[in-house]
Amino acid sequence: MEKTTKRPARIKFDGRILFLTEDTALIRRQLEAGAEMEYNESLPLMNNISTDEITPGWVCFYYDETLGEYVYVGMREGAVKKDEVKRGGFSVVVSGLSKGCGSSRETAPFAEKAAGIDLVIAKTIEKIYGQNSQNIGLLTSTDFGLIERIGRGEEIPLAEFTRGLDAISKDIVEYGGLFNYNKARLAGEASPPPLETKRRPMNIVEKIVARHAFVSAGRVGVEAVKPGDALFALTDVRFSHEYVTPMAESLFKQALGRDARVTEPESVYAFRDHLTFLGRVMPEEKRKMGLLDRANGLATTQASFTDEQGIRLYGGTEERGSEAICHNAVVEDIALPGQLVIGTDSHTCMAGVLGCFAFGVGSTDMANAWYTKDIRLKVPEVVRFVLRGEKRADVSAKDVMLKILSTDYMKQGKGIGQVLEFAGDGIKDWSIDERATLTNMAVEAGGFTGIIEPDEVTLRYLTRTRGLDAEEVRKGFLRSDEDAEYAAAFEIDLGEIRPMVATPGDPRNGVNISDLAEEVRINTAYGGSCTGGKMADMDMYAAVLKRAVERGRRVAPGVHLYLQFGSQKIKEYARARGYIELFEKAGAELIDPSCGACINAGPGASKSKDEVTVSAQNRNFPGRSGPGKVYLASPYVVAASAIAGRIVEPEEYLRERVEELVGA
């Protein structure tokens, strides 16, 4: 077998350096006039560049070198146009905090690389984006001292890009990507370091990882792990959706041949859930580009692959909608406590509500995992949030999460790559659905994932909804040791939290509604997505709308209230409780299950930059749900604002409920 080659020991970057700045006029000067910029510390670099801005949803219908033509076309203020980066001769791109936040789409770094970018420099780099970059051979760094050296034409030692990495990541960078590294691994030319951590107190994540650590063929599990340990871990569940499955299949067969087979397909799942209703909202200009046919082709390719490999496909049709959004189905039907779950979507972390270690990965990681069944990871640090007290009746888990995301700890990027563990007496009586909002949105802090220890609420949920044997379920229950170590720990007094919104641009922009500087009139209120389309969310929409209808009120004139179910099971739950009739009486427009507006692929997405939406979805990065402004809020706030025509606290519609609770 031919020996796998590594990168050269020194690298020279011959192209230009593109500075992505807050002032988009400076970006235009570099792209239009070919102006060269020099870096200084006072240069205001653009922060929080999301993967939606790097490759907007419609760009992801491509999964080949074409992506390089469209890199950054979703950037705020239309700062970058088609082909400009590729034709500009750039090899290095520089930006500020949280580069690559948001979706786990590997198309983002792939597009940068296809446009000629060899190196990404940013103040902080989000976990999934950074790992995807390593997997495809795109170099990243947070060392701004490199800029001057590159400008002088200096050859940079490869060691500059591997310093501080764990042993596996270091090897992957040196081999130029994950596939090349795995070739060397299978040939015996490279191997993960042995795990030598001795018995120690561990938190729940560390215990799950220790149980799943791959040691050697036939040997799984080690005594203990600690933050920073690098390893491969066997997965229990692997899933993907139509946005990503075709790219992963292409990588899979390129590496292993057209006859390659997925290992243990019974633990692999696929979903048609992201683009089900795209045809209802795609603009004519995009249709003329052939993008609707291309998008529909993703679902066709996925269906063919799953049929060929014997993989369970949760399908869907435009007439009826999807069977389920992947994250809702994984919680409802698939994941179990103590498992290790990976999915090609950043909100895979939602399944952590069941006490499993669940996180998002890119296409290359999934293509490898289809064959090896394992995933590489560095044991993450965990930050613990202990929730105390009782939240007000007009406050939901969404408000609690927006409060956590708005803390300096999260805004400064300290949560990047960390697991958020939620605990405390304050959530002991919360439903699985409300808890799931916390774990779902852990990734909005740049977190690795979110997790909650399984308890009696978890047990009742799994035995009731799936008919599972209680003792079998309990076998997966793990708890953090009392003296386990944490990177940080915070206590949250639930009684102090008030109804909140995250202002447009970032989920970390949380403020109390009462502190908004001015009245915010809305065009759209959207209640849906994996975060806002659960059964408990339907209960909250109904609580507000029932009071409104009783008072003879409906959705405000000129406002659209869209309510979208996260799965067919959730829709049937709403029907059985009489909610569908109530929602229609209140003037809501109901949508069958799909990701929809959350990714600008269904009713509820904005059509112009002047539109304002209040949404129960999980993120509001620029362009994520159309060109308009998106405020994130709880289901209570979404419903109340739809009635008022402006963003309001929901207390007016819940006051009687508050009085009932106080009286009780």
Structure tokens at 96: 């500020």
Q: How confident is the model at residue 544 (pLDDT cuts 50, 70, 90)?
A: very high
Question: pLDDT at position 218, please?
Answer: 79
Cα–Cα distance for residue pair 185/106, rounded to 1 Å: 23
Instruction: Work out the average pLDDT over 218-243.
Output: 95
What confidence tens digit (pLDDT) does each residue in 444-487 have? Answer: 988 999 999 999 999 999 999 999 999 999 999 999 999 999 99
Taking only the tens place, the pLDDT of each residue in 500-541 is: 999 999 999 999 999 999 999 999 999 999 999 999 999 999
**Sheet strands side by side (includes 524-527):** 510-512, 500-502, 629-633, 612-615, 524-527, 560-564, 589-591
What SS3 class is residue 82? coil
Segment 566-586 shows an average pLDDT of: 97
First to last CA, the chain: 75
d(CA 240, CA 97): 29
Per-residue pLDDT tens over the stretch 550-569: 999 999 999 999 999 999 99
Phi-psi region of 601 (alpha: psi -120 to 50; beta: other; left: phi over 0): alpha
Q: C-alpha distances in angstroms, 392 versus 98, 161, 431?
A: 33, 49, 16
Q: What is the pLDDT of residues 633-650, one digit of tens each?
A: 999 999 999 999 999 999
In whole angstroms, give the CA distance from residue 76 to residue 401.
26
- Please tell me the class of the 378-496 domain: alpha beta
Q: Return the structure tokens found at 580.
A: 């569908």
What length is written for the chain? Answer: 664
Quote the CA–CA distance of 299 and 602 in Å, as a whole number: 16
- Looking at residue 655, what is its pLDDT? 65
Percent of the chain with pLDDT over 70: 98
As a whole number, mean pLDDT of residues 161-183 equals: 95
Query: Parallel, antiparallel, or unpaired for β 357-360 and 321-322?
Result: unpaired
Residue 312 has pLDDT above 50, yes or no: yes
Lowest-confidence region among 99-108, 243-252, 419-428, 653-662: 653-662
- The phi and psi torsions of 598 (rounded to 5 degrees) equal -60, -30
Mean pLDDT of 44-48: 96
Closest CA to 628 of 601, 652, 600, 656: 600
Q: Check for a shared fold between 10-186 and 500-663.
A: no
> How is the chain split into domains, by residue range?
10-186, 378-496, 500-663
Contact present, 479 and 453 (Cβ < 8 Å):
yes
CATH of domain 10-186: 3.20.19.10
pTM, 2 dp: 0.92
> Which CATH number does the domain 500-663 belong to among 3.40.50.2300, 3.10.450.50, 3.40.50.620, 3.30.499.10?
3.30.499.10
322 CB contacts (<8 Å, ≥6 apart)?
271, 272, 273, 276, 314, 315, 316, 567, 592, 593, 594
